[in-house]
Amino acid sequence: MVYSFKRSSRLPATLDAQSIGEELAQIREDAGAGFSPRSVVEAARDEDSALYPAIFDCTDEEAAERHWEERASFIVRMVVVAYEDDANAPRQTNAFVSVIEHETQEPRYLPVFVAMSDEDYRRQIVDQCLDSLLQVRHKYAEYKEFARVFAAIDKTASKIRAA
């Protein structure tokens, strides 16, 4: 089996995808079935493991900060706001969206209605949505049951890119 990382992984080039894939396959084989993230962490504790630098890439303090930031991001993504659409039907949407802020060029959360009323932020959100749809399309491309959905995604992507 030949292993590699997805192009979108953003993992350091120093990590060996082949060795990591082989270790994950061994963890699965040792488990006799599927395996869990916990079993990967346990295997990675061995400093000779190819997984070690991938999992233990920072200090415990840095890992805690990352965890808290991921938790905060999760909480922000779970908050929704209720509104009525043009037909006075009740709707919900994310209260906040992530955009790259104009002045600082850093990721920031903005209220969805503020972001959607700004042309650049709206474009960022549409591009994020399109990227997500294209990732789903790529991930499940072999499922013929979704061929019509994928055709609609392709058609929409073409229109958005042409705009």
Residue 12 within any structural domain of the chain: yes
45 and 101 in one domain?
no
Q: Tell me which residue of 85, 105, 104, 101 sits closest to 93, measured CA to CA.
A: 85
Q: How far apart are CA 124 and CA 108, in angstroms?
A: 12
CA angle 130/69/111 to nearest 5° reads: 50
Range of the domain at 41: 7-55
Residue 67 within any structural domain of the chain: no
48 and 100 in one domain?
no
Find where tokens 């997500």 sit.
132
Query: pTM, whole model, 2 decimals?
Result: 0.72
- Residue 45: C-alpha distances to residues 40, 41, 51, 57, 98 (Å): 9, 6, 8, 12, 34
Residue 2 within any structural domain of the chain: no
Q: What's the rounded mean pLDDT across residues 112-141?
A: 94
Say which DSSP state 146 is in.
G
Q: How far apart are CA 134 and CA 138, in angstroms?
A: 6
47 and 101 in one domain?
no
99 and 47 in one domain?
no
Q: What percent of the chain has pLDDT over 70?
A: 100
Domains held by the chain: number? 2
Q: What is the pLDDT of residue 101?
A: 92
pLDDT exceeds 90 at position 6: no
Q: What is the pLDDT of residue 108?
A: 95
Residue 79 within any structural domain of the chain: no
Residue 148 within any structural domain of the chain: yes
Residue 33 within any structural domain of the chain: yes
Q: What's the rounded mean pLDDT across residues 117-137?
A: 94
Q: What is the pLDDT of residue 9?
A: 85
